[in-house]
Homo-oligomer: A and B are copies of this chain.
Amino acid sequence: MKSYRKELWFEVPTRRAFINITPQVNECLRESRIREGLVLCNAMHITASVFINDDEPGLHEDYKKWLEVLAPFDASPQRYSHNRTGEDNGDAHHKRQIMGREVVVAVTDGRLDFGPWEQIFYGEFDGRRPKRVLVKVIGD
């Protein structure tokens, strides 16, 4: 069994953003020389997500609005007890649960084994500082 590991770094200038990281994950897979196996791709921070969906700007706007309804930004400790710690990112910990921490993707014949529209996104909910995504590939 072979394994491969790489960290992808992001410093998003805004608090929230979705970034298509499929090209970077493809490059990792190429470097790994693994032909059959699994790729794990996860946010290493707990106010960010990795998820698979459509690369369509309207959808990303919809997600942002929707997450703001489900878990609105509010820096006060009244809505989010977490913000009593001095943080203002209680909302981001909730948004990340909706969008998920990680994806696992099959590797078949040296490629990400994707359906027609699947793309991997980094979902940032508390940006403006350097944060990481882990790409781990195992297989043969």
Chain A residues with a Cβ under 8 A of chain B:
1, 3, 5, 36-38, 40, 42-46, 51-54, 56-59, 61-63, 66, 70-71, 77, 80-85, 90, 93-94, 96-106, 108, 113-118, 132, 134, 136, 138-140
How many monomers of this chain does the complex have? Answer: 3
A3–B36 alpha-carbon span in the complex (Å): 7
Are A81 and B61 interface neighbours, CB within 8 A? yes
Query: In the complex the two chains form, is A134's CB within 8 Å of B106's CB?
Result: yes
**Chain A binding surface SS class:** mixed
- A36 partner residues in chain B, CB cutoff 8 A: 1, 3, 138
Question: Are the C-beta atoms of A56 and B43 separated by less than 8 Å?
Answer: no
Query: Would you mind naming 22 contact pairs between A and B with Cβ atoms under 8 Å apart?
Result: A1-B140, A3-B108, A3-B139, A5-B106, A38-B138, A40-B106, A42-B104, A44-B116, A45-B117, A46-B52, A46-B53, A52-B101, A53-B97, A54-B82, A56-B85, A57-B81, A58-B84, A62-B80, A62-B81, A97-B99, A113-B136, A138-B138
Q: How far is the CB of A94 from chain B (nearest CB, A)?
A: 6
Check if B101 sits within 8 Å of A81, measured CB to CB.
Answer: no
